[in-house]
Chains A and B, each alone.
Chain A
Amino acid sequence: MSVGGAPPSGGKRQAGDSSVDSFDRVEEDVRAGHLDRAIESLRADARRGADASRYLAWLEQRRGEFEASRETSEALTAADSGDFEAQLLAAYAAWFEGDLSAARSGLEQVIQATVGGGELGERARRSLESLEQQKLELVPVAAASRRLDSQFGITIVLLATLAAIAVVRSLRGP
C-alpha cells in the first residue's frame, strides 16, 4: 500500500502552531533528507499545534515509525474528534503495521464523517477499496491457516506420544 507522497494538507502558519521560523527549519531538514532531525524538532516543540502534529504523524509514517505515528494521530483525534485527516493518518499507520481491521474501521469512520466527498473522503474511499481487495484475498488464506494450525497441533501431539512410547519401551529393556 502507499499513502502517497504528499504531506497532510492544512496551513502551517495558523494560530497555535509553533513559530514560523522553527517550522521552516523542519521543512528545510525534510528537504535536505534529515528526517530524524525534523522529527526530533517537532517532538521537542511542546507548543506545536494540530497542523504541526499532523505533519509529525506523517513524517513518522515516512520514517517507518508506525506505532509513534498512530499515537500522534490518535492524540489529535482524542483532542478533536473532527480531525479526519488525523484519523486517516491513524488508519494508514494501522495498515502499515498489518492491522487491517483497525485500518478498515478508521477509513470507514473518515468516509462516514466526510459524506458528500471532498478530497479527504475520496482518498479514504480509494484506500478502503484497496484494503478490502487485500482483505478479500487474505480470507481464504486465513481459513487455510487455521486449518493448518489444527492439523499441525494434532500432529505434534501424535508425534510426542509416539516418541514417548518409543522411549519408554527402549528403557524397559528386552
Chain B
Amino acid sequence: MIAWYWLTAFLSGAGVLVVEMSAPRALAPFFGQAQFVWTNVIGLILFALALGNVLGGRLADRRSSPRLLGAILIVAAAVVAAAAFLPAAVSRAILPDRLPLEAAYSFLFKGSFLATLVCFAPPVFLLGAVQPFLVRCATRRLEEVGRASGRLYGASTLGSIAGTFLTSYLLLAEFGTRGTMLLAAALLLASSVPAFVAGREGTSRKGGAAVVAALVGMGVAPFALREWAPGLLEAVPGAAWGELVVARDSRYQHLEVRLRDDLALPARVLAIDEGHDSFQSVTPKAGTWTGGLYYDYFTLLALDQARSGRLRVAILGFGAGTHARQLLEFVGGRCELSIVGVELDPEVVALGRQELSLPEDPRLVVHVELDARTFVDHSRERFDLIMVDCYNRQSFLPPHVASLEFFKAARTRLADDGALALNLFGYGARDPVVEAVTNTIAVAFEREVAVCAVPSTANFLVFARSSGELRLPPEWDAQGLPEEGLRLLQGLRAPAQCFRVGPRHDAVVLTDDAGILDRLQERRLRRRSEALLRSVP
C-alpha cells in the first residue's frame, strides 16, 4: 500500500516543481525574468503550498479517503492545464498597450505578483493539500507516523528534484512553456491513479496495470501533443512592440522577431523576454546602417581601429549579428577582417540567420552555448577590438561581465593599441550604473576611458585602449567614410558629446563578489518609472 502512496508523493512532488520552474518562463514574454519576478513566483508558490498544507491537514483529519486525495489531484491537474493557457490573457489584462520599458517597473514587479497569484497559486494550493493527506492515508497507527511521513516527504522531495532537472534541461527546450505545463498536468493526472488504486482492497494486479498505463500515457503525452496538436506547443507572443514575425521559446529565454515601423528606419528587431519598446538586434528593411542606433557608432570606432590594415574583433553578446553585419559590410572592404562572436543562446543566432539577414561568411565564426566571461577567461586569442554588448533582461547588464575581474581579463585579450568598447544603457552620464561600470573599466585598465552619449538615445558607447593614446571621435579616421557614416560621425563630434573619465579608487568599483550592480540597475529603473508616472495626470 505504502508503495502506491510513495508513487503519488513522488509524482505530485515532481508536478509542483515543474509548475514552479515553468511559471517564470510563462510570465517572461510579459514581465521578463528579473530577480523580482523569480522572487514573486517562488514566494507565492511557497505561500500557496503552506496554505494548502494547513487546509489539507484539517480536511484529511475529517475524511482521510484516498479517493478524495485522487480527486484533489485530478482537480489540480485540470487547474494546471488551465494555467498553461492563462498567463497570456491575465498578463494582457494587467499590462497597458505599448508600455515603454522606462515606465514599466511597477507593472513588471506588481504585475508578475498578481499574475502568479491568479495563474499558479491555485494549482499549487491544491497540491499543498496532498502531502498531509498522504501521511494520514498511509498511517494506521500512531507509532508509524514518523517513518511513513519521512518516506513520503522523501519521495516528494525526490520527485521535486526530478521535476527541476527535467524541466530545465529537457522539457522547456523540447516542448516549450505551454507544453511543459500540459505535461505537468499529465503528471498530476497520472499521480492520482496510484491514490485511487491504494484506496481499493484486493485489486493489486489490476491496480498495478492501471498505474503502469497511467505512467505510459504520461510518457507518451508530449509526443502525442507534438504530433496531433503542435499549435499548443508554439510560443505565445508577448508584450514587445511591433508586428510579430515569429516567436520562440529557447532554453534560456523568450524570443520574438518583430517588424517595427516606429524607428528611424523601418526594421526587423529581435526582442527578448518582455521586450516592450526595447530590442537586442536590428535589421533595417533597407541598408545596413541602423539610422543612428548605437550599433552604427561601434562601427565608426571599428573603422578607426582598422587603421593598421588588420582588425581582429571579438563580439561578446553577439545577438542576432547586427554588429557583425555592419563590420562585414563597412570594415571588411578596408582591411583584413576577422570576427569571433560569442553568444550564449544558439536560438538567437539561428533567428539571426533565418529572419535577420545574418550572412554565412568565412571571416565570421560564432561560438554558441558559451558565456562571454568564460570566453574571456579561457581564450588565448588577441583582438584589436572587443565589443561587449551583453545584456539580459533588456536593460540589465549581467554582473559577471561588468566586474573588475572581467575587464582585467578582457584587457589581457587585447592586442597593443587594442580597444574594449561597451554598450551601456543609462539615464544620463551620471546614471549610477554608467558611472560604476565606467569607473570599473578605468580602474581595470588603469587609464582614462572615453564616454560618448549616442545622440537621441539612452545608450552610451564607452571605450578604453590597452595602450597608446585614447582618441576621441574628432580624431577618428573619417577618410573614405560613406555619406551616412560621415553624418553619424559629425553627431558624435558635437561639443561635449564625448568625454574622458579617469580611474577613481574612492568611487564604486564593481567586483565579482559584490552584488551591487543588480541593485543599482533595479533602483534606477524603479526611480525612472516612478518619476515619469508621477508627472502624468
Contact = CB atoms under 8 A, between A and B. Distances in A.
Given A5-B455, A135-B536, A62 B496 contact: yes
Given A62-B453, A66-B428, A159-B47, A141 B496 contact: no
- From DSSP, what is the main secondary structure of chain A's interface residues? helix
B499 interface: yes
Given A5-B491, A64-B430, A148-B106, A138 B496 contact: no
Nearest to A135: B536
Contacts of A34: 499-500
A145 interface: yes
Contacts of B430: 63-66
Contact of B535 (A7, A58, A59, A101): A101
A21 B47 CA distance: 69
Contacts of A163: 47, 51
- Most interface-central of B98, B498, B500 (chain A CB within 10 A): B500
Given A33-B500, A141-B103, A64 B113 contact: no
B209 interface: no
A4 B532 CA distance: 22
Contact of B95 (A5, A100, A142, A144): A144
A170 interface: yes
Contacts of A98: 427, 527-528, 531-532, 535
A63 B453 CA distance: 9
A140 B429 contact: no
A35 interface: yes
A65 B531 CA distance: 16
Nearest to A7: B495
Contact of B111 (A2, A141, A148): A148
B103 A138 contact: yes
A144 B96 CA distance: 6
A7 B496 contact: yes
Contacts of A65: 428, 430
Contacts of B434: 64
B97 interface: yes
Instruction: Please tell me the size bucket of the interface on A.
Output: 35 or more
A152 B496 contact: no
Q: Which of A6, A58, A98 has the most CB of B within 10 A?
A: A98
A79 interface: no
Nearest to B96: A144
Contacts of B497: 5, 62
Nearest to B54: A166
Interface in B501-523: 501
Chain B contact residues (Cβ within 8 angstroms of A): what range?
35 or more
A5 B452 CA distance: 12
Contacts of A64: 426, 428-431, 434
A108 interface: no
Contacts, number: 128
A149 B110 contact: yes
Interface in A49-97: 58-59, 62-66, 96-97
B494 interface: yes
B335 interface: no
B474 interface: yes
Contacts of B527: 98
A138 B427 contact: no
A119 interface: no
A131 B385 CA distance: 38
B100 interface: yes
Given A64-B431, A142-B536, A148-B107, A166 B51 contact: yes
B362 interface: no
Given A7-B496, A98-B535, A149-B106, A63 B429 contact: yes
A143 B54 CA distance: 38
B537 interface: yes
Nearest to B98: A137
A139 interface: yes
A141 B61 contact: no
A140 B54 CA distance: 42
B61 A174 contact: yes
A99 interface: yes
A120 interface: no
A123 B302 CA distance: 34
Nearest to A153: B110
B50 interface: yes
A96 B111 CA distance: 27
A27 to B, nearest CB: 8
Contacts of A31: 474, 495
A98 B54 CA distance: 47
A126 B94 CA distance: 34
B537 A142 contact: yes
Interface in A1-38: 1-2, 5-7, 30-36
Interface in A159-174: 159, 162-163, 166, 169-170, 174
Interface of A: 1-2, 5-7, 30-36, 58-59, 62-66, 96-102, 135, 137-145, 148-149, 151-152, 155, 159, 162-163, 166, 169-170, 174
Given A65-B430, A141-B99, 18 more contacts: A1-B456, A2-B456, A5-B491, A6-B495, A31-B474, A34-B499, A64-B426, A96-B427, A98-B528, A100-B532, A137-B100, A139-B536, A142-B533, A144-B107, A148-B106, A148-B114, A152-B113, A166-B50
The 4 A-B residue pairs with the shortest CB-CB distance, nearest first, are A5-B494, A64-B428, A98-B531, A64-B429
Interface of B: 47, 50-51, 54-55, 58, 61, 94-100, 103, 106-107, 110-111, 113-114, 117, 426-431, 434, 450, 453, 455-456, 472, 474, 491, 494-501, 527-528, 531-533, 535-537
9 contacts: A2-B456, A32-B500, A35-B496, A64-B429, A64-B430, A96-B428, A141-B536, A152-B110, A169-B54
